[in-house]
Homo-oligomer: A and B are copies of this chain.
Amino acid sequence: MTEDSAEYLQRKEFYNRMLTVYGRKPVLEVLQDNSLEIHKLHLADSNKPAAILDDMVKLAKKRGIEVCYHDKQALSRISKNSKQDQGVAADVIGKGFQSHQSFLSSNKKHYRILALDGVTNPQNVGMIIRSACASPINAIILPEKGCAKLDPLVIKASTGTLFRAPILRCKTLASCLKAFAESGADIIGLDANAPHTLGEEPLTGAKVFVLGNETEGLSSDVRAICNKHVSIPMLNNVESLNVAVTASLIAFQGAL
């Protein structure tokens, strides 16, 4: 299987859509939610017997979900969080997850996307996903580096919308934004000091709105890729809005 074979790309896209949830309560909750497609349930063979584990296995069998047993180290590699996995993980298929390459290959001319640059607070990331999922925005770019991990805290703050939100995952934001810029999209940084306002931006066209860290703002490498900057006009000398509020205002712009 070579790196550009159809099978390889299909598998890569499959894994791009997969989110590994860990911890006993979060895993039980995803198993209980019949609207979610679950690939596998992973259990550490070192787990001591517990009613909640029996419930998980029962639910998995009832739903035809494969149950895999691993030694503790292998489970840690799957959960990527040995401290909090409690010997349990599940691979959930994010319905709206895709790679940015896949999104770009659809050649849309008009779209609006949110991109998060170093947003580290899981409450904020979860709230942004919840708002974006409810809004007409086309996608949210969530880089693996620099942002809060998509962990149980984010899932909770997203009120479970994470699994159906339109999410483009990537390693680093800068490389992903470059691909969007090369395809002709406007990369628009939110910046409280920008002279142009969000309202001056036409609603049409291909646009990626980039939101920076809660206190630091945009990182320098991302700032360099932005070809525009816009601000949200603020009264009473307020210096900034909460990043999830800013994201929501963009996501619902023109829809209210």
Contacts and interface: CB of A to CB of B under 8 A. Distances in A.
Interface in A210-240: 232-240
Nearest to A137: B235
Nearest to A254: B256
Given A134-B235, A236-B134, A256-B232, A127 B242 contact: yes
A13 to B, nearest CB: 21
Interface residues of A, number: 35
**What number of copies of this chain does the assembly contain?**
2
B133 A235 contact: yes
A165 B248 CA distance: 21
Given A131-B245, A245-B245, A255 B233 contact: yes
A127 B245 contact: yes
B127 A235 contact: no
Nearest to A95: B236
Interface of A: 96, 123, 127, 130-131, 133-136, 159, 161, 164-165, 197-199, 232-242, 244-245, 248-249, 252-253, 255-256
Contacts of A130: 238, 241-242, 245
Ranked 3 nearest A-B pairs via Cβ: A134-B238, A134-B234, A245-B248
Q: Is the interface of A mostly helix, strand, loop or mixed?
A: loop
A37 to B, nearest CB: 15
A164 B233 CA distance: 17
Contact of A232 (B159, B233, B245, B252): B252
Query: Which of A165, A197, A245 has the largest number of chain B CB atoms within 10 A?
Result: A245
Contact of A165 (B96, B199, B236): B236
B245 A133 contact: no
Nearest to A200: B256
Given A127-B245, A242-B131, A237 B199 contact: no
A132 to B, nearest CB: 9
Contacts of A237: 164
Given A127-B245, A197-B256, A245-B245, A235 B136 contact: yes
Contacts of A248: 241, 245, 248-249
Query: Which of A123, A127, A235 has the largest number of chain B CB atoms within 10 A?
Result: A235
Contact of A133 (B133, B161, B236, B252): B236
Given A134-B235, A159-B240, A199-B255, 8 more contacts: A123-B123, A127-B242, A130-B238, A133-B238, A134-B234, A161-B238, A198-B256, A253-B256
